[in-house]
Structure 1
Amino acid sequence: MSNPKIAIVIGSTRDARFADKPAQWLLAKAKELCTELDFDLVDLKDFDLPMFNEMASNLYMPSADLAAIKWQEKMAEYDGYIFVTPEYNSSIPASLKNALDQAGKEWVRKPAAVLGYGSVGAARAVEHLRAVAVNLQMVPVRSAVYISGSDFFKVSPLGANAAMSEIEAGILPSLEAMLSDLTWWTKATKTAREA
């Protein structure tokens, strides 16, 4: 039997985004630390989603926009998600909120974890994302990874732009806890969905 599949979703689409660096680190560490799940990196930039303009969520009626349908089909491949997000004005980027709105049935009864980054570790964005996930019928896991303060400025181009390995010791325990939560909830929800 194959492992459950997890999408690591890059939530920012800005050209100057920092997301790629922590997302690549997360993908490598997740594959190393968690052999019970399979991980893919999914970049919102690859989907060119329009702003949500459907009659309703695809929970209630099929979507018409082909880009939205492509996104839905991609998200349907996964048993859980890790969202990589910055914090913009105390929330998640519009690109991520729009992507979440563009799918509906694909999210239901699947776990969601978060890696946030920024001066306060995207703490407010992570909490907002959890609230959105609940409304989309996802299961937000308790543990998250926050890259904040001096750690953020150490690895960000806004600061020293050091390698992620420079802050790994400080954030690895959070990552291990998040992956443990995600593994348990992915197995539990997948078993329940299949039953």
Structure 2
Amino acid sequence: MSTAPLRLAVINSSVREGRFGPTVARWFVTRSGQRADIEVDLIDLADHPLPHELSHTPADEVAGLLSAVSPRLAAAEAFVVVTPEYNHSYPASLKTLIDWHRTQWLAKPVGFVSYGGLSGGLRSVEHLRPVFAELHAVTVRDCVSFHNVWGQFDGSGALTEPTAATSAAKALLDQLVWWGVSLREAREKRPYGA
């Protein structure tokens, strides 16, 4: 049984100007980094522009764009997607990242931290679950959701009322570690064939 920390990639999916995602992602990375059983890699999609269509992008340019993010996804043993809700769904930048990768998601757990207005981004999470199922990833049940997010963080990026979100983050991370370690051990015994 492996005792190495679980390699968790936290994906900040919004790339819009004026986005609130970095505040939410930094809070979650800080929470995750306090655990000895997790090693965190924050992947901000604003730092990794990806091509939308292969036919319009030269192959060498595609390879260059993917070379920065693909190895980080492959090295991860679990993922947390930090996502807003745009038009009742998730951002195009996240869909592009997901669609340019396949084997990186196989037999790995995915959790969600969502944020937005009244729905707290939960509709984007529900749209993501079947997408990751198609990629043979396992989504964990619990998530962290920030409703009316702009009023929940102060100017320094700290939560004004941290109790509920901290508890939700602990539940999410506990589930990710269980699934992540279990799937790591399973892949070590027998490669996943999809």
The answer (yes or no) to whether the contact 2:54–2:62 under 8 Å persists in 1 is no
Give the Å deviation of 1:74.
Answer: 1.9
Query: TM-score, normalised on structure 1?
Result: 0.86
Structure 2 residue 89 is matched with structure 1 residue 91: yes
- Which range moves more in the overlay, 109-118 or 38-47? 38-47
Structure 1, gaps ≥5 residues long? 55-62
Q: Deviations over 1:66-113 (max 9, x none)?
A: 312432222111101000000001110000010011111011000000
The secondary structure found in structure 2 opposite 1:165 is coil
How far apart are the structure 1 equivalents of 2:132 and 2:172? 16
Q: Deviations over 1:23-78 (max 9, x none)?
A: 1110111111x321111111112211111427xxxxxxxx9633124322221111
Runs of 4+, deviation exceeding 2 Å = 63-66, 68-71, 160-165
The answer (yes or no) to whether the contact 1:52–1:101 under 8 Å persists in 2 is no
- Amino acid across the alignment from 1:126: V
1:124 counterpart residue number = 123
1:135 counterpart residue number = 134
- Aligned pair in 2 of structure 1 residues 189, 107: CA closer, same or farther (>3 Å)? same
- Aligned pair in 2 of structure 1 residues 109, 27: CA closer, same or farther (>3 Å)? same
The answer (yes or no) to whether the contact 2:51–2:62 under 8 Å persists in 1 is no
The two structures, once aligned, show a CA RMSD in angstroms of 1.9
How far apart are the structure 2 equivalents of 1:109 and 1:131? 14
Aligned length, in residue pairs? 181
Identical pairs, percent: 30
Match of 2:30 among 28, 31, 39: 28
1:115 counterpart residue number = 113
> After the TM superposition, which residues 156-167 of structure 1 pair with which residues of structure 2 at under 5 Å, given as runs?
163-167=157-161
> After the TM superposition, which residues 43-192 of structure 1 pair with which residues of structure 2 at under 5 Å, given as runs?
43-53=44-54, 65-119=63-117, 120-149=119-148, 152-155=149-152, 163-192=157-186
- Aligned pair in 2 of structure 1 residues 88, 53: CA closer, same or farther (>3 Å)? same
Structure 2 residue 6 is matched with structure 1 residue 7: no
Query: TM-score, normalised on structure 2?
Result: 0.86
Structure 2, gaps ≥5 residues long? 56-60, 190-194
